Amino acid sequence: MAQSEQPEQHTVFPGKGNTNPSNILPQKLDLNSSLKFQCHPGVSCFTACCHTIKIILTPYDILMLRKRLQLSADEFITTYTEPTYLEKTDMPGVQLKLTGDKQACPFVTPEGCTVYTDRPSACRYYPVGMADFHEGRNEEEDAEEKFFFLVKEAHCKGHEEDKHWTIGEWRADQGVDLRDEMNKEWLRLVMRRKSFGLQASLSEAAKRMFFMASTDLDTFRSFVFESSFLKTYDLDQETIDRIKTDDVALMLFSFTYLANSLFGAPGLQIREDKLRSKIEQLQKQQNEAVQRAEQEYKELKAERDRMLAERGQRPGSPKED
Ligand code: SF4
Ligand code: SF4
């Protein structure tokens, strides 16, 4: 990247954690809007923003970081993250676990970021935030609903540097387009949950599934290949082969599965035979319930007739109670 060999920047995805809203400039920007900013090891604030910050990790962030560090998902999550809730919802996620008195990112050194080429999405966005209102709409509408905004904090001296970009150039330099693509469907799940509000219930099991699929692809893969999953869902062989070996394909598939199972979104079909046996099971349960109800009715009626007979009344007599 042009502006620094080993930088900085962080934000909660898609905005910066701990950012005071008053530091967000009240101006909608687009890809052609101009930006004057540069971050490099020579700025006086270098790495200042890698401390006391909240950095939410997306599934793609976790995948890239753990591969770089050659850790299993479980080892990475346990060592470098702590639990949090996403976007003020009850959806569980993880954030980087800060260390020491200075509450530093575990990957920062005085020389800069030690995982720079695999740094989280949030670190790439700063200081350009993105707002994206796309719930339930198509791609064209998504594009129309997307805009950017600038975060300008007093401690960040990058704004005093004399480097000019368009927002589009800055984003390309930071490699955020790929991140946008990789994070999009996952973020959409969180936004869906947010738009439903907390009155709409999501079971604890559903939340656990969301957390597992979002943070631990190893376990999600076992869930797909070692449970009755493939007997339940209709997946073509090509998809099965791909998600067996390709982590990114598995991650994207997990988003489709979560959207389908949590919110009833299309994208996954239950197998015909499963569906048929489920329908048969429901019909059987329904028939049994009807039979039980008929039997109970007969028994009640017989009991009533018996009581009336005891009192010397005939069923249907006007004197009966
Ligand atoms: S991951 Fe790198 S860029 Fe992001 S906060 Fe940590 S040290 Fe800074
Ligand atoms: S210039 Fe801004 S983004 Fe760069 S290190 Fe300083 S505070 Fe962080």
Tens digits of residue pLDDT in 135-184: 444 444 444 567 899 999 999 999 999 999 999 999 999 999 899 999 99
Which atom of ligand 1 is found nearest the CA of 123?
4
- For residue 61, the model assigns a pLDDT of 97
Ligand 2 centre from 157 Cα, in Å? 6
Ligand 1 centre from 203 Cα, in Å? 34
Residue with tokens 């809203």: 21
Nearest CA owner, ligand 2 atom 3: 9
Mutation probe of ligand 2 site: the residue of 23, 35, 39 with most atoms within 8 A of C-beta? 39
Nearest CA owner, ligand 2 atom 8: 49
Q: Is 39 in the pocket of ligand 1 (CB under 6 A)?
A: no
Mutation probe of ligand 1 site: the residue of 12, 50, 103, 118 with most atoms within 8 A of C-beta? 50
Nearest CA owner, ligand 2 atom 5: 46
pTM score over 0.85: no
- For residue 145, the model assigns a pLDDT of 67
- For residue 314, the model assigns a pLDDT of 62
Write a three-state SS string for the chain.
CCCCCCCCCCCCCCCCCCCCHHHECCCCECCCCEEECCCCCCCCCCCHHHECCCCECCHHHHHHHHHHHCCCHHHHHHHHEEEEECCCCCCEEEEECCECCCCECCCEECCEECCHHHCCHHHHHCCEEEEECCCCCCHHHHHHHEEEEEECCCCCHHHHCCCEEEHHHHHHHHCHHHHHHHHHHHHHHHHHHHHHCCCCCCCHHHHHHHHHHHHCHHHHHHHHHHCCHHHHECCCHHHHHHHHHCHHHHHHHHHHHHHHHHHCCCCCCECHHHHHHHHHHHHHHHHHHHHHHHHHHHHHHHHHHHHHHHCCCCCCCCCCC
In this structure, what is the dihedral angle of CA atoms 42, 43, 44, 50, given to the nearest 10 degrees? -110
Please check whether residue 132 is in contact with residue 14, taking contact to mean a CB–CB distance below 8 angstroms.
Answer: yes
Nearest CA owner, ligand 1 atom 1: 119
- Parts of the chain with a pLDDT under 50: 1-16, 135-143, 320-321
Nearest CA owner, ligand 2 atom 2: 156
- For residue 290, the model assigns a pLDDT of 86
- For residue 313, the model assigns a pLDDT of 66
